[in-house]
Structure 1
Amino acid sequence: MAAVALGLSGCGTQIAGHPEPAAGFGAPDETAASATSNASPVPPPTIPQPRGTDIDPCVLFAPEDLTAVGEPVGPPRPDDPGPGICTHGLRFEQNAAAAGFGVPFAEAAARQPGGTATAIEGHSTWLYCEKREVYQTCAATTAVREDSTLVTLLSLHGASAADTAEALHGLTGAALRKLPPG
């Protein structure tokens, strides 16, 4: 089953190709809290051009954006697995990609103490990858405003963390370019 990670709680039913809480995006637990308290503080995010988030998350990935990771299957699923997130099923082994908007950058990084800081198109990005069964899931939380992040996720069957992260980098850049100035 695809294991795409989201910063949401309340994802109950697992359905083939749907994201489920994984890769550190659930509500912070005691382990994350203790790991975070021992971690270095995350520096303030770099946001070269603030972006608006008043956009349908289902348009953040166009079919042509997804062709590098698999052919889209069926229509995008808005508010799946939670509000403000849109999931795209991909043909092959129940792979999935998702995009939406999340909590401020520092809060997202605190929820994922095993992640790493990087940048996509100059925007601070927190990358977190986790393998669950045979699915490699990576999540990129990209600072677009002081109070909001673009969250992109990719879950691929049998892929390595490096390959999944590289593919997610391209998807995140494509989604970032669709956001209006804000």
Structure 2
Amino acid sequence: MTAVRRRALVVPMLLLCATTACTPPVPGEPVPAAGFRDEPQTSTAVQRSESPTPRDGAGIDPCSLLAPQDLAALGGPVGQPHPDQPVPGACTHQLTSGPDNVAGAGFYDPVPVVAQHQPRGVAVEVEGRSAWLYCELIDAHQTCTAATELGPDRSLLTMLSLQDASAADTTDHLFGLTTAALHKLPPA
């Protein structure tokens, strides 16, 4: 390695060490990306006073769960939605943000069943509801799904697959899609 290349590597490392060594600690509790929480909140100021509003997906077209404005931060949809993709009861939307980028929502198996099929996922919470979050890198696409409890026999499935994206960025967007879809479901 030449002295110039070595210096080019060492100088940024020294700057990084110098700037982080003097940084004051940030107060508070770290929060996972996208508001997904994998442990209960302990702050008394944020405790829930009641159960989440029951939601019912009966008679709802899965393709209506994500509107173009919900997908705008991802470049927006392109073409027509694809019902029953990737599973029956779900609907995907191709996105303009990259080749094979896809977002989707629909209805699926109960959260405990999803957790059995995706053992590497994590239990999270979405607006006071139990959910199961799973991410996997597939052919340069960060692909994440969330199954959010609607009742004992079904869940709201949301999914997002983005090329060259991090898991944190993908889950951040997925949380937004999940809450948008939840809000489109009428109270049970």
Instruction: Describe the SS at the equivalent of 1:75.
Output: coil
Letter in 2 for 1:87: T
Change in 2 beyond 3 A, CA 1:150/1:47: farther
Deviation, 1:47, is: 6.2
Q: TM-score, normalised by structure 1?
A: 0.72
Letter in 2 for 1:177: H
Deviation, 1:156, is: 0.0
- RMSD (Å), alpha carbons: 1.4
1:137 aligns with 2:175: no
Which residues in structure 2 correspond to 1:28-177 (within 5 Å)? Answer: 48-54=52-58, 55-91=60-96, 92-177=98-183
- 1:18-40 CA-to-partner distances (Å, cap 9, x unmatched) read xxxxxxxxxxxxxxxxxxxxxxx
Q: Which residue of 1 aligns with 2:18?
A: none
* Cα separation, 1, equivalents of 2:158 and 2:170: 12
Instruction: Describe the SS at the equivalent of 1:66.
Output: helix
Q: Which residue of 1 aligns with 2:22?
A: none
* Cα separation, 2, equivalents of 1:178 and 1:71: 18
Deviation, 1:97, is: 0.5
* Cα separation, 2, equivalents of 1:146 and 1:53: 13
The runs of 5 or more residues in structure 2 that have no matched partner are 1-49
Instruction: Describe the SS at the equivalent of 2:137.
Output: strand
> Which is worse superposed, 155-164 or 118-127?
118-127
Letter in 2 for 1:52: D
Percent identity for Structure 1 against Structure 2: 54
Deviation, 1:71, is: 1.7
1 or 2 for the larger relative contact order (CA 8 Å, sep ≥6)?
1
Higher helix share: 2
Asked if the contact 1:102/1:150 (under 8 Å) is kept, the reply is: yes
* Cα separation, 1, equivalents of 2:151 and 2:51: 7
